[in-house]
Chains A and B, each alone.
Chain A
Amino acid sequence: MELASPADVAARLGATGYLSDDALATVTYLALRMQRPLLLEGEPGTGKTALAEAIAESLGLPLVRLQCYEGIDATQALYDWDFPRQILHLRALEAAGAGADAEEAEKSLYDARFLLARPVLRALQESPAVLLVDEVDRADDEFEAFLLEVLSTYQVSIPELGTVRAAIPPFVVLTSNRTRELHDALKRRCLYHWIDHPGLDREVAILRSRAPEVSETLRRQVVGLVQQLRARDDLQKPPGVAETLDWARALHHLGTAEIDLASASATLGALVKYREDADRVRHALDQMLRA
């Protein structure tokens, strides 16, 4: 990959509409150069998943996504055999009355066409690719150990078929919401970055690139209010960038030129998702808009 410097990475990401700061661009550059997985943590809605998508787009690589959940195991992450089709195949062999060589029949059962490639295997097969392991903190400890093994060798062995190895290791992005502490061994393999909420100017810029239909005055006003809300520490779930975008779009759809209390209350559901928060925000907006 012909990326020369962190600034180059930032420019490439910027071209896809993802605005990064220098810390994030540097870490991404390092991860690409050192071929290490990138572990992103941060508040929900700060663009962890979006970064992986932007990297894939800017490098022109396919994005393979593995969404983790409780109880996920290797058959959902790596590969599985397609049992119904294998049985159909057997029946077809029987009907055709093809030579009764049982060994041949069995061998034909474990053919690559009956293999269901799941995300990790697919990322290795498609070789230069971006593998996004989303919300890895939701998976169990055992799955983490398994992931560690794949991430250190970039190969998977299938007993019936042989070993699949990536010609070029995929670029791996892991995201975590910190619902639990990840195992140290996995963290050690990765480069770590904590994504914070963006500052005022960067958030306005993000809005400009993601929601160009919204007018500049509305954009500035929305971001200004959201930044003030985030600075308060009494919200159960401070709004993320995704919520800011939703809110701006909601206001735009209502034809709002400038936010007043009525339009803000009507669209509050796009910004905060808890009843307690809604009450507090309505109260705070009342004061902020009057000031």
Chain B
Amino acid sequence: MTERQPDEILLGFARALRAAGVPVTHDRAQGFVEAAAVLGVDDRRATYLAGRATLCAGPDDLERYDQVFHAYFEARDGLPRPRPAQPTAPFAGLPLEESSGAGGTPDDEVLRARASETEVLRQRDVSSLSAAEKHRLAGLFVTLRPRPPVRRTARHQAWHRGDVDASRTLRASLRRMGEPADIAWRRRGVRPRRVVLLVDVSGSMSGYADALLRLAHRFTQVGREGGGVVETFTVGTRLTHLTRAMRLRDPERALVAAGETVPDWSGGTRLGETLRFFLDRWGQRGMARGAVVVVFSDGWERGDPALLGEQMARLRRIAHRVVWVNPHRGKTGYEPVQQGVVAALPHCDDFLAGHSLATFAELAEVVSRA
């Protein structure tokens, strides 16, 4: 081709891969150049394999890698391929003012005392809020403290009563040159249980997606402080692993990252199928084992409800506790008649409302006691 240096071309490829969403760091790129040099840069297949080994970190990356590699080294024609349309996320940046809604409702609220304003907001359905109210509510999410649930571990810890700790007793006597001394005691330790959040982002749930992801972010951040693990996925027409985005400390940045990751905002719902994919790919191997799994969905299932029921049964056999959160549950006159809900309910341990901050607080309580 041109007189470019091989390293330059390889690093350019690494940059293209990063632009495509594969987290390529500088040292990875260096490793790639090194590996390609070992195998010889004039061999395309070898370069391909070198990059696969050094730049990718999971099966999700492999797919993107193949596409970018093809586009970069083989299809030199009409670059680049069209990007997926910018998600029309319900929260694509938080609008500060809205033309009509923002000024409307405050009239009523001026009459109330300022302190109770927060209390009212806590009870309101999040999908009915104006942009300004949403902005205020976003600030209130920090008041949620979802403590992670705990489980007993196989390992023991020192305690002042319980069972005899033979090895610590022996060690203490060793320190006294073999004279027997006080008896040490131990008990089973506790560790945070894993929490898995499955958030439905289909069209019928679009009014709640923003709030639910903020909730997931809160779960993730508070869980991390306590050493717990919270995994987040979105379900809809496909399954998306969102944990990485949710680990960003700043909620706004986390939501923007989530918006860039999830390809199927406000699409249809094939809960049964995505749930099966989750169980096959992640859940059964251990992510859902002994975990508290929370499904946020209204149960409007386009696919086969029998499949959903089957998969929920499977999930329940693996998980420690299955919680179904339905935003419509809290509304007056709600009956769980949607096919999806009917199929799923027999396999849930809890069925909760989830339309306002107050109900989110209740959910946090249920999860931490699970």
Give A residues with C-beta under 8 Å from B.
Answer: 6, 22-23, 26-27, 29-31, 33-34, 36, 41, 44, 70-71, 83-84, 86-87, 90-91, 94, 102, 105, 137-138, 177-181, 184, 187-188, 191-194, 236-237
Total contacting residues, chain B, CB less than 8 A: 46
Whether A70 pairs with B170 at a CB distance below 8 angstroms is no
A-B contact pairs, 27 of them (CB 8 A): A6-B46, A22-B49, A23-B49, A26-B53, A27-B52, A30-B35, A30-B39, A34-B38, A36-B31, A71-B154, A83-B171, A84-B170, A87-B170, A94-B177, A102-B177, A177-B285, A177-B286, A178-B285, A181-B58, A181-B244, A191-B31, A192-B54, A192-B57, A193-B52, A194-B59, A194-B62, A236-B284
Shortest Cβ gap from A50 to chain B (Å): 19
B186 within 8 A of A: no
Q: CA–CA, A188 to B30, complex, Å?
A: 11
Q: Which residues of B contact A90 (CB under 8 A)?
A: 174, 177-178
Whether B243 pairs with A193 at a CB distance below 8 angstroms is no
B370 within 8 A of A: no
Q: CA–CA, A179 to B194, complex, Å?
A: 12
B56 within 8 A of A: yes
Q: Which residues of A contact B46 (CB under 8 A)?
A: 6, 26
Known: A23-B52, A36-B31, A71-B153. A87 touches B39 (CB 8 A): no
Shortest Cβ gap from B17 to chain A (Å): 14
Whether B28 pairs with A179 at a CB distance below 8 angstroms is no
Whether B171 pairs with A33 at a CB distance below 8 angstroms is no
For chain B, residues 12 to 39, give those with C-beta under 8 angstroms from any C-beta of chain A. 23, 25, 27-28, 31, 34-35, 38-39
A interface: dominant SS? helix
Q: Which residues of B contact A194 (CB under 8 A)?
A: 56, 58-59, 62
Q: Which of B27, B49, B244, B282 contacts A178 (CB 8 A)?
A: B282
Closest B-chain residue to A90, C-beta based?
B178
Q: Which of B167, B171, B173, B286 contacts A138 (CB 8 A)?
A: B286
Digitize B278-307: 1 where CB-to-A-CB distance is under 8 Å, 0 elsewhere.
011110111101000000000000000000
Q: Which residues of B contact A178 (CB under 8 A)?
A: 58-59, 281-282, 285
B114 within 8 A of A: no
Whether B57 pairs with A91 at a CB distance below 8 angstroms is no
Whether B58 pairs with A188 at a CB distance below 8 angstroms is no
Q: CA–CA, A29 to B178, complex, Å?
A: 53
Give B residues with C-beta under 8 Å from A.
Answer: 23, 25, 27-28, 31, 34-35, 38-39, 45-46, 49-50, 52-54, 56-59, 62, 153-155, 167, 170-171, 173-174, 177-178, 229, 231, 241, 243-244, 279-282, 284-287, 289, 314
Q: Which residues of A contact B28 (CB under 8 A)?
A: 188
Whether A180 pairs with B58 at a CB distance below 8 angstroms is no
Whether A83 pairs with B167 at a CB distance below 8 angstroms is yes
Whether B57 pairs with A184 at a CB distance below 8 angstroms is yes
Whether B287 pairs with A30 at a CB distance below 8 angstroms is no
Closest A-chain residue to B194, C-beta based?
A180
In order of increasing CB-CB distance, the 6 nearest A-B pairs are A179-B286, A191-B53, A26-B49, A179-B285, A27-B53, A187-B57
Whether B54 pairs with A191 at a CB distance below 8 angstroms is yes
Closest A-chain residue to B61, C-beta based?
A192
Q: Which residues of B contact A180 (CB under 8 A)?
A: 229, 231, 286-287
Shortest Cβ gap from A18 to chain B (Å): 18
Q: CA–CA, A30 to B49, complex, Å?
A: 10
Residue of B53, B58, B280, B289 with most chain A CB atoms under a 10 A cut-off: B53
Shortest Cβ gap from A10 to chain B (Å): 13
Q: CA–CA, A27 to B53, complex, Å?
A: 6
Residue of A30, A41, A44 with most chain B CB atoms under a 10 A cut-off: A30
Residue of A27, A178, A192 with most chain B CB atoms under a 10 A cut-off: A192
Q: Which residues of B contact A184 (CB under 8 A)?
A: 23, 57
Known contacts A23-B49, A34-B35, A236-B284; can you find 8 more A-B pairs with CB under 8 A?
A71-B155, A83-B167, A83-B174, A86-B174, A91-B178, A137-B286, A184-B23, A236-B280
Q: Which residues of A contact B154 (CB under 8 A)?
A: 70-71
Closest A-chain residue to B40, C-beta based?
A5
Closest A-chain residue to B49, C-beta based?
A26
Q: Which residues of B contact A192 (CB under 8 A)?
A: 52-54, 56-58
